[in-house]
Amino acid sequence: MTTENTLSDREVLEGLMILEQKSHLWYSKFGHRFYIIKFEIDPTYSINISDDQISRIADELFRQMRSHGRTKILVDIAGDAFVYWILHFINRLENNLITKQIMSREDFYYLCGAYPCDKNFRNYDIICEKYQFTKLNLILFSSYETYLNSMLNDEKYSPVSIDLTPRIKEKKFLCFNRNPRPQRVVLFTELMKLELVDQSFYSAIYFDYIDFYSRYQFENHFPRLCDSVVEYISQGFDKGLGFLPRILNHHSTDFTNPANTEHKDAVYYENSYFSVVTETKYLCDIINDPYPTRDVTLDCFFFTEKTWKPIICFHPFIQVNRPGALQLLRDIGYKTFHPYIDETYDLIEDDEERLIAIVNEIKRLCEFSDKQWLNFQENIRPLVEHNHSVLSQKKPILKCLVDPSIT
C-alpha cells in the first residue's frame, strides 16, 4: 500500500483479475466469450483511486483481456447485489475504455446476486438514473439459493437431519447475525429490552460504540427508536453488562464461510420453533444520502444464505428484509407462514414501523403456551417440507434482458 487510503496499481489489479480463467466458477459457461474479473477491493480505497490510476488499470485490464483472446468483460459480483462503490468503480473503468474508443458499452457485463426478477431489473434502472451510472448489461443470478441447492444435491454432502416431531423446545427462536448493520443493532436492542434474547439462540458480534455514520442511519431510518437504542447500548457497555459478543458454535467474527450449512447448526434449528432472518438489505435508500459509499446494497431484493439455511433445516421464519420479500418468495414457489405467523409486516414500507411490527410479532409468538407451540409445529410442518422440496429441486436462475442466450 502506497499511502493511507490508496492502493498501488498492482494491488488494485490483484483485487480485480483472475489470471487463471479456467479456475473460475463461471469459466465453463462464459469463458469462451468473456474475460472474467472478480472484485475484491476495499471500498475505502476504491473510492479514492485517481483518474490517472483508473486509466492505467483500464489499459492493463484491456491488455490482459486481449492476451486471453477475449473481446468482452464480465464483472463477477455474484456474492453481492447493487453495491454503490462497486457500480461507481466499474463505471469509471468502463467510461475510460469507451472514451479511448477501444471498447464499446456492449462489451461490458455485470453479474450480481440480486434476485433475478423483474422488480430488480427495474430497481437497477432507478439506481442508474439516481446516481447517474451508465447502465451495464446486467445479469442477475440466484447465487445463494443455487449454492444451498448444490449442497442438497451433492453426493458428498450428508444432509442435516432435523426431527420434525412436535415437542417442547429449549428456546423460542434462532437468530444468526454477523455484521452489526443498523437493523440488526436496533432489533437486538429492542428484543433485549423485552427480555426475549435470552429466550433464543442469538449470535451477535461485539459493537461497543455508535459512530457518526451509524448515528446518521439510526436517526434517518429509526427516528422514534434512535435515542433509546443509542442510550441503551452506551449504558450497557458503560455498566459492563457484557451482553456481547454472543457466539453460537463456530459463528464467531472469524468464521469465513457463513453460507455453509453444517451439522453443528442442526441443534439450533431442532431446538427452537422459528428463525428470525436478519437479511443484508433492510433499509431503504435515503434520497440524497451523503454517505452512499458506506451502504452495502442499494434498493433491491437480495436473499443471502440467511434466507435459505432455515429452509434447508425445515424451519419457519420471519424475514427482516425489504417490504415485499415474502411476496417474492411466494412468487418463486415457496410458501410462507400466515396465518401461523402474522406476516402483515411484509406490507409496511416504513423501515421503523416494519421493524416494530416484527418485534411485536416475535413477542406475541414468545408468549405461546406449550399447547400452542405443539399446534404451531403441526400446522407449519407441511409448509417447511414443501419449501425444502422446492429448494432441493431449484435450477440455477440467470436472467439477462440484453442477451437472453446467457440464461
Residue pLDDT, tens place only, 72-105: 888 888 888 998 888 888 888 899 999 988 888 8
Task: Return the minimum-mean-pLDDT range out of 204-218, 304-318, 343-357.
Answer: 204-218
The predicted structure's pLDDT at residue 367: 98
pLDDT greater at residue 358 or residue 293: 358
The predicted structure's pLDDT at residue 289: 65
pLDDT of 258 higher than 50: no
What architecture does CATH give domain 173-393? 3-Layer(aba) Sandwich (3.40)
pLDDT greater at residue 257 or residue 60: 60
pLDDT digit string, tens, across residues 381-392: 999 999 999 999
Average pLDDT over residues 30-56: 79
pLDDT of 3 higher than 70: no
The predicted structure's pLDDT at residue 19: 60
The predicted structure's pLDDT at residue 252: 44
User: Averaging pLDDT over each range in 190-204, 226-240, 335-349, which range is the top one?
Assistant: 335-349
The three-state DSSP-derived secondary structure of the chain is CCCCCCCCHHHHHHCCECCCHHHCCCHHHHCCCEEEECCCCCHHHHCCCCHHHHHHHHHHHHHHHHHCCCCEEEEEECCCCCCHHHHHHHHHHHHHHHHCCCCCHHHEEEEECCCCCHHHHHHHHHHHHHHCCCCCEEEEECHHHHHHHHHHCCCCCCCCCCCCCCCCCCCCEEECCCCCCHHHHHHHHHHHHCCCHHHEEECECCCCCCCHHHHHHHHHHCCCCHHHHHHHHHHHHHCCCCCCCECCCCCCCCCCCCCCCCHHHHHHHHCCCEEEEECCCCCCCCCCCCCHHHCCCCCCCCCCHHHHHHHHCCCCEEEECCCCHHHHHHHCCCCCCCCCCCCHHHHCCCHHHHHHHHHHHHHHHHCCCHHHHHHHHHHHHHHHHHHHHHHHHCCCCEEECCCHHHC
pLDDT of 257 higher than 50: no
Which pTM value belongs to this model? 0.88
42 — pLDDT class (breaks 50, 70, 90) = low
pLDDT of 235 higher than 60: yes
CATH 3.40.50 range(s) for the chain read 173-393
pLDDT of 62 higher than 50: yes
